[in-house]
Amino acid sequence: MFWITLLLLAVAYAPCSIGLSLPVNKKYRPLIALGLFFFAIAVQFVIFTGILPRIALLIVAWGSGVLVFSTPFFFLRDIVLLVMHLKKRRIPNQKYGIAAILILSGFLAAWGEISAVRPPKVKPVAITIPGLPDAFDGFRIVYITDTHISKTSLPNYLWTVVCRANAVHPDLILLGGDLGDLKPDEIKPNMHQLGDLHAKYGVYSSPGNHEYFRGLDEWIAFLDSVGIETLLNRHIVIEKDGAQLVIAGVPDDNKSSKWHAGRETPDLDKTLAGAPGGAPVVLLSHQPRFARDYAKYPVSLQLSGHTHGGMIAGLPALLVKTANKGFVSGKYQVGDMTLYVSNGAGLWNGFMFRLDVPPEITEIILRKPE
């Protein structure tokens, strides 16, 4: 909720700043600013719902992006104007400054939206695991998370993801949650394509927070219907040439969410009960912020998403990193455990922008230490 509130304030700041700068009677400016404020908030809520047709959503989201990207520029401008006012300096006409800010922000929003809607490419990542058996040296796991499929997704988007994942010919495919932003039946013409994912040792999933928002039981049943097994506080064992590799998954953890109320919470003792001793463990956990807790267990590799890589490089990514206890994108060493946080394969309707943080399908290649 904190991040949604922050986004809403960012969207609404620019309209307020513009409203207070308009060349109209001063007594009307606060009313105009307030009206623009509520209009911007209403538009953002419409975007959150994802009910608009795709083209309309992209256009409206671009307009929202203009406001978001213009917020820091208007904030700096307002500080300068405040200083000038306090020093009783003459305030210049604002129309050219406002126009320049909006044009620049429009370019950034367009660039960010184009970057976000592009289908993800496969990103190879080698991860060294101490004690990895020879049989699993070079073992390839395709990790897909945060596709956020909705009615506004391009019809061929998920099919492109599936084809690119299959083209790697992986040994295993793991799905890290936030697969869709609606109930599976509402987007089934797209979602059934997940059943075309193929790997030698199967396809497994663990849920993200968005599966809870739209009915966890329905998502689990749907995934099961297309041959994808969900791991909730349990593990499976892969055997190859006499060696073993443990694949485990935990539920999403968000105790403050009403959608999670009454649901099973992550329990690593339960998850790993009966796992073969000494076998490397790969853990699916949607949110990376619990990595330091999970590193206390015999987990070799944790795969997470949720952050979308911060979406925009720089201060926004730093804020997302801070909210996730220091983890936002890429590979981290947490004690004896390696954590990999994917940028995610898709985009969320509420913020449809990426700048220098491309989407990805991650090809995890397990390696023995040299």
Are 197 and 228 in contact by the 8 Å Cβ rule? The answer is: yes
Joined tokens for residue 228: 């994808």
- Distance spanning both ends of the chain, measured CA to CA: 45
Is the pLDDT at 1 greater than 60? The verdict is no
Which strands sit side by side in the sheet containing 337-341, from one edge to the other?
A: 234-240, 243-249, 281-284, 301-304, 337-341, 330-334
The predicted structure's pLDDT at residue 7:
67
- Which band of pLDDT confidence, cut at 50, 70 and 90, is reported for residue 184? confident
Q: Write the DSSP symbol of residue 180.
A: B
Is the pLDDT at 9 greater than 80? The verdict is no
Q: Write the DSSP symbol of residue 287.
A: -
State the number of CA atoms in the 13 A half-sphere of 271 facing the CB.
Answer: 25
pLDDT in tens, 121-161: 999 999 999 999 999 999 999 999 999 988 777 778 899 99
Mean pLDDT of the chain: 89
DSSP 3-state of 262: coil
pLDDT in tens, 215-270: 899 999 999 999 999 999 999 999 999 999 999 999 998 776 777 777 888 999 99
| Burial class of residue 268, CB neighbours in 10 A (0-12, 13-18, 19+) | buried
Per-position DSSP letters for 128-152, written without gaps between them? E-TT--GGGTT-EEEEE----B-TT
The predicted structure's pLDDT at residue 179:
93
- Which band of pLDDT confidence, cut at 50, 70 and 90, is reported for residue 348? confident
The predicted structure's pLDDT at residue 32:
83
| Burial class of residue 369, CB neighbours in 10 A (0-12, 13-18, 19+) | exposed
Is the pLDDT at 52 greater than 80? The verdict is no
Joined tokens for residue 61: 């989201």
**Residue entry with tokens 């994802």:** 50
SS3 content of the chain, % helix, strand, coil (to 5): 45, 20, 35
